[in-house]
Every structure is written in structure tokens, then in C-alpha cells.
A and B are shown apart, each in its own frame.
Chain A
């Protein structure tokens, strides 16, 4: 905020050639430093946008993009095809549902954990709990998949060994499509709740201690303080993170679904990112999958803007 004000105060003078020379002489070093990063952005983030044209053209491996013929239906042939493709519809549905489940189950957990940690009195113990809770965040999804296999295997997994020992029947956590969803969500919560609590803890530590003292004097108990001071204090943080999560409801990472899915659970496990990989990179249907990717990117931006607009309407601070 302060920075923006400063910028406004700078008066705009007419810029002569001489000024330019002085300016360049003074600041060329900074532009030189920026050169490499800007080349990076232009080459690796902007130049691939040119290939988005493929979504509207009939891809052929021997032609340049500019020479490829336009697709039928005013170029929208592949978008129409995608929405007639059962696998894509399935992937789209799964992406939305899995993301919503992620939010419903996974979003409150770090908040609750942060509130819990905040109530913990013993400092050293608190630090230990934090260190342990951050650990899963540093494991890759391949490793987590390895852990899950050893933990949930129907024959020799830790959990199922316990269940069968206690007289129950083995549960197919990773092979049954419906139970797979639970495992998929659960593993994500396990991996990220500690890490995601960091932000809430920081927000909690920003709340003035005087508020708590005043509440204690008034005879408020632990839960009343939590409900009336801590939670309202971190509400802006919660809202911003919720906007980001809701804005990403059509987004899908690749690492997590790809390693966790298997042929038995595809009906619930295929998401857009893995669909694009299989149909595009493996199946070489470049036009179709570029169209799908473009649809996803645009939908993502729209959702983010909508979530942002909605939160502003509700009187909260947006993210943009």
C-alpha cells in the first residue's frame, strides 16, 4: 500500500532524449539483471501460448502450426468432440468432485489444528508437534504412494492386518473406486494439514493479546475466546485461502492423481490432467487435448475471478 502511494506522488515530467540517456546510464544494470528472467517468462510461459492455436486446427505432425487447416465448426470441432467424449466428461466430473471433497474435508483441518496448537501451553512440546506435522509435506507423492501401499494393501498392509486380526474383513482402500476416493482425500489431508496450518498460526500470532486479557477478565473460557477472538481474527486469512481453493475447483495437479490411480478405480480417479496425458502425450490426439487444456485454463481464471468477486460482495477483502 505504502509503495503505491509513493508511485502516485512522482510527478510526470516530459521525457526528453537527454533524460533517456541519463536514465539508461543510471539504470541499465537493473534491466540487465532482469533480462534473463524476462527471457525465461517469454520463452517458457508465453511462447507456448502460440501452440494453443492447435486446439482450433487439425493437427498434423509434418506441418507448421500456421499451415495446418482450421478445424470444422468454425474451429470448435475439438471442443465439441471433447464434450461428446465420455472419458472427458468423466474426468471433468471427477476433477470437480475430488476438488470439492478436498475443500470440504481438507480445508477445516489445518484451521482446527492451528487452533489446537494455539491452546498448547508447553513450548518445547509445541515445537516438536509442529516439526512432526510438517514432515509429510516434504514427502513426494511417489513416496506417499509407497507408504500407502504398505499401509493399505488388502493382504499384507498394516491397517488390513489389524482389521483381519480383530475379526473384520480386509478393506480395499486402493482398489475399490468408492473407498479410493476416501483414501485419496485422506492422504492429501495427511500430507498438507500441518503445512497449511503455518499460515493460520501466523495469523493467530498477529491477534492482539490484550483482547484475550480483556476476555479473561470478563470470565470468558477457552472456547468462548476461541470462538469470539481467535476465529474472527483469522477470518480474512480463511476467506482468502477459501477463494483460492474455490477458484481452483477445476484445476488439477498431475502428481497426486497419477501415482495414486490404477485401472480398477479409473471411473472415480481419472482427472483432467491425467486425461490430457493419456489422450495427448500417449494417444497423440494433440488438437483434442489442447482444446481440453485451454478449456480448463480459461474456466480456472473465470472461477477465480468469480470467487474473488463473490467475496468482495460479501464484504471481505479479495485477493486481487
Chain B
């Protein structure tokens, strides 16, 4: 009786799986559209001409295709300057942060190192307790870092979370490699340079991505500590552009200035600032997935 019953159900479930598979594909397509739609809309606006933007006719495809918004943005010395400065800042920060993370993570994997526990406690506490905005601000003031470009590099140069990812990866490298090098008389510095760093390239690439994205996208440290406009990172400049344009739009509603052009410029500014990141991250997907996964299994 049972055997007879089973056959048809298996068939039905097989048919269902096929339909189910397509339902899942459809859902995933919808999700992708939701993710991409704002960007596509923005791109269309940045490439559309004024008339169509003013008449509210631009949806997902550019109308009256032209690149004048981009040429206007590229002619703006303030924007270009900030873009170059942020790119430079990102490179420097990434390098310094990778160095600091390695310096911090490597010694802590030696179980026989005296004081290792204390060091670990010192580090872990900072993950859970922060002195707060004002004490940090007063510290920067005392260190004469306010309005100093170094304030955009040094205070954020070591993330405990990223350091833990690296440390976990270092733990995963077999001790035997290290011990073999130790027997050969290699110094700890040589072991780091010749064994650990070459083996850790993928995870170092991941950390580089995390640090670089953090710096490229960050603006709040500049908002707090930097009053000099020439050192504004790109995101702060964009925020100010977005805010100012807001005001302009309101004041010109009676007159007939060119809110359309303003709008496409705004779109172009936002669009262009995301290009560097959007170019880099897909290539590193395999690695950052690994990085996030390692970070999740601390201790």
C-alpha cells in the first residue's frame, strides 16, 4: 500500500521543484532589480538633457542623451581636487592600516609570548567601550590634530574587527611552517615577511578593500575635526553639494533658473564618486566573503 502511494508523490514533488526553481529565479531577479534600480535611475538622470528632467520624463533610460553634466563636474576644480585628495588619502590610509593590523595581529599568535593575554584584553575592551564623541574631540584638540590632515589618517588607522580577521587567518597557518623557519634561525621579522605575509595575500587584499572603502566612504571624522575645505574628503563635499543644491532648488522655484542642469550635475557627482568602488569590489568577491566568514568565528 505504502509503496504504491510513494511513487506518485515523488513525481509530483519533482514537478513542484521545477516550478519552485523558476519561482526562486524570479524572486532573485526582482531582488536584483531593487538593488540596481536607484543606480540606473541616477545614471539616466546624469545623462539626460534639461528639458526632459524639468518635464519629469526621465525614468530609467536617459532622454536627450548628453554628457554635459559630467563635463561641468570635471571642470569644477573643487570637485577634482577633492577627488584626487581622497584617492591619495585612501591609498595612504590603506597602507598605514594594513601595516598596523599586521604589526598588531602577528605577535599575538605566539602562545608563548608573555603578556599576550593583557594585550588581548586591552584590545578587546576598546571594542565594547568608547570614551565618546566629546572626549575624542578634546583629545584631537590637545594633540593639535584639529584641522590637520593627519586627523583623517591616524585616529582610524587600526580597526580591531579587521585585525581579528587577520589574526584568525594567521592562526590558520600551520605552526610547523613557523617552527621550521625558527629552527633555521630565522628571526621573527623574517618569518613574518617571508612566511606569513606571502601566505596571507588574499586576506590582506580583503582588509585593503575594507579599509579603502571605509576611508573613501567616510565623512564624519572630517565633519568633526576638519574645518579647512581644501582637506575635505569627497563624501563631505558631496554632502555639501547635495545640501546647497537643495537650497538653490527651493529659491529658484518662482524663477526659471536651470534646476534640470543642477539635477543632472548632482546625479553626475554622486554617480562618478561610486565608480572606483564599483570597479574594484566584484573582483575581490571571493576574498571578502572569506574575510567576513573568518571574522565571524573569532575565538
Contacts and interface: CB of A to CB of B under 8 A. Distances in A.
Nearest to A199: B296
Contact of B103 (A3, A34, A148, A156): A34
A211 interface: no
A139 B277 CA distance: 8
B35 A135 contact: yes
A281 B126 CA distance: 23
Contact of A151 (B38, B143, B154, B239): B38
Interface residues of A, number: 94
A138 B9 contact: no
Contacts of A273: 133
Contacts of B100: 36-37, 40
Interface stretch (B65-73, B77-85, B197-205, B265-273): B265-273
Interface string A234-261: 0001000000000000000011001100
B179 to A, nearest CB: 14
B95 interface: no
Contact of A140 (B45, B111, B218): B218
B289 interface: yes
B56 A293 contact: no
B20 A33 contact: no
A198 interface: yes
| A interface, over-half SS | helix
Contact of B137 (A36, A116, A221, A281): A281
B122 A41 contact: yes
A202 B277 contact: no
Contact of B292 (A29, A198, A255, A276): A198
Given A6-B111, A138-B277, A222 B134 contact: no
Contacts of A138: 213, 217, 274, 277-278, 281
A289 B111 contact: no
A51 B60 CA distance: 52
A23 interface: yes
B148 interface: no
Nearest to B266: A146
A229 interface: no
Given A132-B35, A133-B31, A44 B139 contact: yes
A221 B132 contact: no
| B interface, over-half SS | helix
A208 interface: no
Contacts of A6: 111
B188 interface: yes
A140 B217 contact: yes
A161 B59 contact: yes
B224 A281 contact: yes
A48 interface: yes
A286 B122 contact: no
Interface residues of B, number: 94
Contacts of B137: 280-281
B189 interface: yes
A301 B131 CA distance: 12
Contacts of A207: none
B255 interface: no
Interface string A273-314: 100110011000010011001101100110010000000000
B278 A290 contact: no
A142 B219 contact: yes
B53 interface: yes
Given A6-B111, A131-B285, A140-B235, A51 B122 contact: no
B13 A221 contact: yes
A162 to B, nearest CB: 8
Most buried by A among B35, B123, B238: B35
Contacts of A129: 28, 31-32
Interface of B: 6, 9-10, 13, 16-17, 20-21, 24-25, 27-28, 31-32, 34-39, 41-42, 45, 53, 56, 59-60, 100, 103-104, 106-108, 110-114, 119, 122-123, 126, 128-139, 143, 154-155, 157-158, 163, 171, 187-189, 192, 213, 216-220, 223-224, 235-236, 238-239, 242, 263, 266-267, 269-270, 273-274, 277-278, 281-282, 285, 289, 292-293, 296
15 contacts: A30-B188, A33-B106, A33-B188, A34-B104, A40-B158, A41-B126, A43-B143, A46-B122, A51-B135, A127-B285, A132-B35, A136-B35, A150-B267, A161-B59, A276-B134
Interface of A: 3, 6-7, 10, 23, 27, 29-31, 33-34, 36-38, 40-52, 54, 113, 116-117, 119-122, 125, 127-136, 138-143, 145-151, 155-156, 158, 161-162, 190, 194-195, 198-199, 201-202, 219, 221-222, 237, 254-255, 258-259, 273, 276-277, 280-281, 286, 289-290, 293-294, 296-297, 300-301, 304
The 3 A-B residue pairs with the shortest CB-CB distance in the complex, in nearest-first order: A293-B132, A140-B217, A51-B135
